[in-house]
């Protein structure tokens, strides 16, 4: 099972967890497992057409999956997926 690092804006949708484990052989399968277990993450990750929202980046370890094979990028159980949504906040 690969590790998924959950960003602050998505933690409320996954019961406050900062990291989760999920099954799947590629990025798309793992994110789908996440969405099945935590349905409220779906609209934040995926658009209506099933592709990753453009304001969310997903990294396999330190590399953007868009420069790899996107959702088809193969994932090993020792890998970590990092979800990085755009963040702004200077804390006025």
Site residues (CB under 8 A) for another protein?
A: 5, 7-9, 18, 44, 53-57, 59, 62-64, 67, 82, 84-92
What is the rounded CA–CA span in Å between residue 35 and residue 31?
6
- Contact yes or no for 75/37 (Cβ under 8 A): no
Six-digit token string for 38: 């935590």
The residue (of 26 and 41) whose beta carbon lies closer to another protein is 41
What lies within 8 Å, CB to CB, of 12 at 6+ separation is: none
The residue (of 53 and 77) whose beta carbon lies closer to another protein is 53
In angstroms, give the least distance from the CB of 80 to another protein.
9
What is the rounded CA–CA span in Å between residue 91 and residue 44?
23
In angstroms, give the least distance from the CB of 23 to another protein.
23
The residue (of 14 and 57) whose beta carbon lies closer to another protein is 57
């Amino acid at each position: 099972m690969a590790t998924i690092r959950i960003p602050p804006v998505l933690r409320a949708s996954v019961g406050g967890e900062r990291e989760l484990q999920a099954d799947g052989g590629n990025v798309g399968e793992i994110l789908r497992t996440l969405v099945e277990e935590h349905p409220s993450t779906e609209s934040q990750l995926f658009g209506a057409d099933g592709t990753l929202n453009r304001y969310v980046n997903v990294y396999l370890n330190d590399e953007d999956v868009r420069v790899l094979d996107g959702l088809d990028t193969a994932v090993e159980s020792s890998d970590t997926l990092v979800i990085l949504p755009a963040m702004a906040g200077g804390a006025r």
